[in-house]
Amino acid sequence: MKLITPSPEAGLLGLRALYSIAAVDAPPTPEERSVLEAGQRLTHASCDLDALQTIEPEALAAAFPDDGQLRWQLTCALALMSMADEVPSREESALVDRFARALGVKSDVLDTLRKLAREQLNLARIDIYRRFWGRERIVEKIQREGWSGLLETVRALRRREENPALTARYRALGELPEGTLGRGYFEFITEHQFSFPGELGHGPELIAQHDLAHVLGGYGASAVEEMAIAFFSAGFRRQHPMTFVLLSLMQIHMGVATMPGQPVARGSLDMRLCLEALQRGAAMTVDLSGSWDYWAVIERPLAALRAEYGIPPRREW
Q: Is 125 inside a domain boundary?
A: no
User: Same structural domain for residues 298 and 177?
Assistant: yes
Q: Select from 92, 119, 146 the last residue of a domain.
A: 119
> pLDDT, tens digit, for every residue of 89-136?
999 999 999 999 999 999 999 999 999 999 999 999 999 888 876 666
Q: Select from 119, 146, 170 the last residue of a domain.
A: 119
User: Same structural domain for residues 143 and 74?
Assistant: no
- pLDDT at residue 100, rounded to an integer: 99
User: Same structural domain for residues 48 and 95?
Assistant: yes
> pLDDT, tens digit, for every residue of 38-88?
999 999 999 999 999 999 999 999 999 999 999 999 999 999 999 999 989
Q: Is 227 inside a domain boundary?
A: yes
User: Same structural domain for residues 111 and 148?
Assistant: no
Q: Is 55 inside a domain boundary?
A: yes
Neighbours of 132 (CB within 10 A): 19
User: Same structural domain for residues 103 and 172?
Assistant: no
User: Same structural domain for residues 261 and 289?
Assistant: yes
User: Same structural domain for residues 220 and 82?
Assistant: no
In terms of pLDDT, which residue wins out, 227 or 260? 227
- pLDDT at residue 174, rounded to an integer: 98
Q: Is 127 inside a domain boundary?
A: no
Q: Residue 206 above 90 pLDDT?
A: no
Domain ranges, residue 67: 8-119
Distance CA 98, CA 161 (A): 47
Domain count, the chain: 2
Distance CA 225, CA 20 (A): 28
User: Same structural domain for residues 179 and 234?
Assistant: yes
Radius of gyration of the chain (CA): 20
CB-hemisphere CA count at 13 Å for 294? 24
What's the Cα-to-Cα distance from 41 to each of 15, 74, 75, 266, rounded to whole Å?
A: 11, 14, 18, 25
User: Same structural domain for residues 187 and 290?
Assistant: yes
User: Same structural domain for residues 72 and 112?
Assistant: yes
User: Same structural domain for residues 98 and 247?
Assistant: no
Kind and range of the H or E run holding 279: helix 271-282
Q: Is 124 inside a domain boundary?
A: no
Q: Is 316 inside a domain boundary?
A: no
Q: Is 271 inside a domain boundary?
A: yes
Q: Is 126 inside a domain boundary?
A: no
Distance CA 74, CA 18 (A): 9
User: Same structural domain for residues 162 and 304?
Assistant: yes
> pLDDT, tens digit, for every residue of 178-202?
999 999 999 999 999 999 999 987 8
Paired with 266 in beta bridges are 254
> pLDDT, tens digit, for every residue of 253-303?
999 999 877 889 999 999 999 999 999 999 999 999 888 999 999 999 999
Neighbours of 54 (CB within 10 A): 14
Q: Select from 65, 95, 119 the last residue of a domain.
A: 119
